[in-house]
Amino acid sequence: METSPSFAGPFALGTFSVGTGPAFPGLVAGERVLDLRTVPALDLPEPTTRALLERWDDVLPLLRDAAASTAGEWLPQGELRVHAPVEPRQVLQSGANYRTHVIDLAVAHEPADGRPAEQVRAEAAAVMDRRAAEDLPYLFIGLASSITGPYDDVVLPAWCAQPDWELELAAVIGRPAFRVAPQDALAHVAAYTIANDITARDAVFRRDMPAIGSDWLRAKNAPTFTPLGPYLVPAAFVGAPGDLRVTLRLNGEVMQDESTKDMIFDVARLVSYASRTVRLLPGDLILTGSPAGNGMHWGRLLRPGDVMEGTISGLGLQRNRCVAEEA
C-alpha cells in the first residue's frame, strides 16, 4: 500500500483487499485498518462502504466506537491493496466551476479572430459573474465504470492525443437528497474524497456537430479516467469544504495549487442544484470542478511514464502513473 499524508479526524473509511482476495470496507486509524466485516454491531447487509453510507446517521457513532476499540480484526495498512473507496450509482460532475480555471481555459482556446488575451479574460470573467448571480451551475453525468483506485495506473487510450489532469474535491452523499435547499444540502453529505477527472481535451468538442456541444462521454469516461480516493473522510472531520487546498504534482512539480475558495458554486449549491433534477442516493459522487493549472494552461499534457500526485487538505494523497494502452 502507498503511504499517504494524514487525513482529518481520528479515522477514515476505505475499500481494501488482501492480495487477490475479496474487497472489504475498512476503517483506517493510524497505521492499521479494521476489517469492518468483523464488527458485529454494524450488521452489514453487504460488505461495502456504500452499505455503510445507506445507514450513515446510525453507522457513524458505531464507527467512532470501533475506532476506539481493540475488538475486531485489525490489519497492517502496508499489507493491503487500496481500491476506490466507494462504488457510486451516480456520478455528477461540475464543469467550469473555478473562476481562474475557466478564464485560463478561455484564453487557451482563444478563437482565431485576433482578440487580445485580456479581452478574452474579461469576457470570460463576465460570464462567470452572470452564472453565479443567476445560480446556474453546470453539471454533467459521469460513468462509474471510469473509476479506478487511488494508486492504480491511468491508461491513456491510443486515440487520445491530449490527455489532461483535473484534480477535484468530491462530495459523497449519505442521506438521500431530492429538491433540497442550499442551506440544507450539506446535511446530505456524509464524506469527502479526492477525484482526478482525467479529460481527453481533443474529444471535448464535436467538430462534426458544433451545435450539439460537448462530448463528455468520450472526453471523460474511458476506463481508469477517474482515480478516486484513497479514503472517505467523514464530513464531520473535514470542516468547511469551502477552504481546502487542492494540489496536484506532475513528476514532483506543482501544477495545480488552489483553494476551494475559488469555486463559483460551493458544495452546498452544487448538491442542491443537482437534487433539483436527480434523486441523489447514498454513495453518489458530486465532483466539484477543478482549479487552474491544467495541462492546457501549461502547454504540457500527460504522457506514458508521468506520475500524478494529488492531495486535498485533510483527505490524504493519491498517486497514479500514466501508461500507454496496450495494442
Does some domain include residue 131?
A: no
* Domain co-membership, 143 together with 75: no
Q: What are the backbone dihedrals phi and psi of residue 265, each rounded to the nearest 5 degrees, phi first?
A: -120, 125
Q: What is the pLDDT averaged over residues 146-169?
A: 97
Alpha-carbon gap, residue 280 to 274, rounded angstroms: 8
Does some domain include residue 227?
A: yes
* Domain co-membership, 61 together with 153: no
* Domain co-membership, 303 together with 173: yes
Alpha-carbon gap, residue 98 to 169, rounded angstroms: 12
Any idea which of 36-40, 69-73, 111-115, 163-167 has the lowest mean pLDDT?
111-115
* Domain co-membership, 306 together with 157: yes
Q: Whole domain around residue 24: which residue ranges?
A: 12-83
Whether 105 contacts 296, CB under 8 Å: yes
Does some domain include residue 111?
A: no
The answer to whether residue 3 scores a pLDDT higher than 70 is: no
* Domain co-membership, 51 together with 163: no
* Domain co-membership, 217 together with 290: yes
* Domain co-membership, 166 together with 264: yes
DSSP labels, 185-252: HGGGEEEEEEEE--EEGGGSB-TT-TTT-B-HHHHH-STT-EEB-S-BEEHHHH--TTS-EEEEEETT
Burial status of residue 240 (CB atoms within 10 A of its CB: 0-12, 13-18, 19 or more): exposed
Cβ atoms within 10 Å of 179's Cβ, excluding its own: 10
Omega into 230 within 30° of 0, i.e. cis?
yes
Residue pLDDT, tens place only, 275-316: 999 999 999 999 999 999 999 889 999 999 999 999 999 999
Alpha-carbon gap, residue 157 to 260, rounded angstroms: 30
Does some domain include residue 61?
A: yes
Q: Please say which residue of 83, 106, 121 terminates a domain.
A: 83
* Domain co-membership, 61 together with 169: no
* Domain co-membership, 65 together with 180: no
- In this prediction, residue 113 carries a pLDDT of 66
Q: What are the backbone dihedrals phi and psi of residue 63, each rounded to the nearest 5 degrees, phi first?
A: -65, -40
Does some domain include residue 206?
A: yes
- In this prediction, residue 207 carries a pLDDT of 80
Alpha carbon distance, N-terminus to C-terminus of the chain: 29
- In this prediction, residue 109 carries a pLDDT of 63
Does some domain include residue 112?
A: no
Query: How is residue 94 written as a grid cell?
Result: 461540475
Alpha helices by DSSP H, listed for 96-147, are: 99-108, 117-134
Does some domain include residue 64?
A: yes
* Domain co-membership, 167 together with 273: yes
Distances in Å between the Cα of 50 and the Cα atoms of 24, 285, 315 are 11, 11, 18
79, containing H or E segment: none
Does some domain include residue 120?
A: no
- In this prediction, residue 5 carries a pLDDT of 63
Any idea which of 69-73, 92-96, 98-102, 265-269 has the lowest mean pLDDT?
98-102
Query: How is residue 160 written as a grid cell?
Result: 487520445
* Domain co-membership, 201 together with 264: yes
Residue pLDDT, tens place only, 124-137: 778 878 887 788 89
Q: Between 2 and 40, name the one with better pLDDT.
A: 40
Please state the domain count of the chain: 2
* Domain co-membership, 58 together with 159: no
